[in-house]
Amino acid sequence: MKTIAILAGDGIGPEVTAEARRILEALNLDITFEEGAIGYAGYVAAGHPLPPATWELAKRADAILFGAVGDPRGDALDRALRPEQAILGLRKQLGLFANLRPATLFPGLEDASALRPEVAREIDMVILRELTGDVYFGEKGLRTTADGKREGYDVMSYNEEEVRRIAVVGFEMAKRRKNKLCSVDKANVLETSQLWRDVVIELSKDYPEVALTHMYVDNAAMQLVRNPGQFDVIVTGNLFGDILSDQASMCAGSIGMLPSASLRAWSGDNGLYEPIHGSAPDIAGQGKANPCATILSAAMLLRHSLDLHDEAARVEAAVSAALKGGARTADLGGTMTTAAMGDAVLAAL
């Protein structure tokens, strides 16, 4: 019996995780679900965005299905109590440094893509984002300059071991796909990026079969729109990966379509699975959210944490079939509610 922790969180988090749970339940697997409060909901329930009971559950579970955290009411809280600290804390404390963000265009979604159909159809990539380092976790603060001006700062840093372990995942992934790895950095201006590039090049000697290229992040943003078909695996740091994957989502139709897995190297045990989007307060509670990103995250959970490859493929095929059949939430130009979209996937399953 496996345990899946469901950490629904805030905003649309509970709406989208509920649909993913229905899909997992329909597979009749030997799993139990345990829910934990997190984010602003955790703060309200237990005075902390990552309450001790939720942290214990996260450590104990075989995998975590995560919704999203973030609530406008949380913005006024001290940084340590802000909802977003919960997901940063989970990633860091569980050591989930490898964030896999596959982006593909599902058949029929050409019309939802921000790109021309013939360009959009070529999208089939994985953005591999480093998740526990970079400017998100460096020293940060607010200080006063000599002339009395307020100054905010966030230190960007990577050590070579942090770069090497994410690059290893990148090369290993590329080997299992099209043998193409593009490392994205800003080595022309950032010392962090120069080290990143040096380490990736050193490691490439162990992977002669993989064609390695390097690209500056500003160019990568442009190339993602101009010719996304050129990318297979992109490996990049935390900040660049965050931004590029949101951008890639619109190329693939909607931010409501992109799943992610956060893992420790290849062993995905105790991994965390979540849509790449946030809590979307603007549409929360209205049944407008697209649950596909979370359902596809559940498929990644089945594959990486539970080793259930056939079941994962079945879920992905069901999403694909539902979309082919015309199922569309508002972000995809349709009128279906979150639950109706879940019903369509369930029916296809």
Q: Is 246 annotated as a binding residue?
A: yes
Catalytic residue among 92, 178, 216, 246: 246
Active site residue 218: yes
The C-alpha atoms of residue 55 and residue 37 are separated, in whole angstroms, by 10
End-to-end CA distance of the chain: 23
Q: Which of 8/187 has CB closer to ligand NAI?
A: 8
Residue whose Cβ sits closest to Mg ion: 242
Give the nearest distance from C-beta 174 to Mg ion in angstroms.
23
**Among Mg ion, ligand NAI, none, what does residue 22 contact (CB within 5–8 Å per kind)?**
none
**Among ligand NAI, Mg ion, none, what does residue 289 contact (CB within 5–8 Å per kind)?**
ligand NAI
* Sign of the Cα pseudo-torsion (40, 328, 338, 102, in order): negative
The C-alpha atoms of residue 211 and residue 277 are separated, in whole angstroms, by 31
Contact 105, 213 (CB under 8 A): no
Kindly list the residues in this chain that would bind ligand NAI in the complex (CB under 6 A). Answer: 12, 16, 68-70, 84, 87, 255-256, 274, 277-283, 289-290, 293, 331
Q: Is 279 annotated as a binding residue?
A: yes
Catalytic residue among 75, 198, 218, 269: 218
Contact 295, 345 (CB under 8 A): yes
Give the nearest distance from C-beta 333 to ligand NAI in angstroms.
11
Question: Can you list the alpha helix ranges (DSSP code H) found in 214-337?
Answer: 217-226, 238-251, 292-304, 309-324
Q: Is 83 annotated as a binding residue?
A: no
Give the nearest distance from C-beta 53 to ligand NAI in angstroms.
19
* One-letter identity of residue 56: E
Locate the DSSP E strands across the chain.
2-9, 31-35, 63-68, 98-104, 124-130, 140-144, 150-154, 180-185, 211-216, 233-236, 259-263, 272-275
Catalytic residue among 43, 186, 273, 331: 186
Label residue 18 exposed, middle or buried (CB < 10 Å: 0-12, 13-18, 19+): middle
**Among ligand NAI, Mg ion, none, what does residue 68 contact (CB within 5–8 Å per kind)?**
ligand NAI
Active site residue 242: yes
Q: Is 310 annotated as a binding residue?
A: no
- Residues in contact with 303: Cβ distance below 8 Å, sequence separation at least 6, in sequence order: 268, 309, 312
Q: Which of 99/193 has CB closer to ligand NAI?
A: 99
Catalytic residue among 136, 158, 207, 273: 136
Give the nearest distance from C-beta 174 to ligand NAI in angstroms.
26
Active site residue 324: no
Contact 318, 343 (CB under 8 A): no
**Among ligand NAI, Mg ion, none, what does residue 242 contact (CB within 5–8 Å per kind)?**
Mg ion
Kindly list the residues in this chain that would bind Mg ion in the complex (CB under 5 A). Answer: 242
Binding-site positions read: 91, 101, 129, 218, 242, 246, 278-290
Active site residues: 136, 186, 218, 242, 246
Binding-site positions for Mg(2+) read: 218, 242, 246
Binding-site positions for substrate read: 91, 101, 129, 218
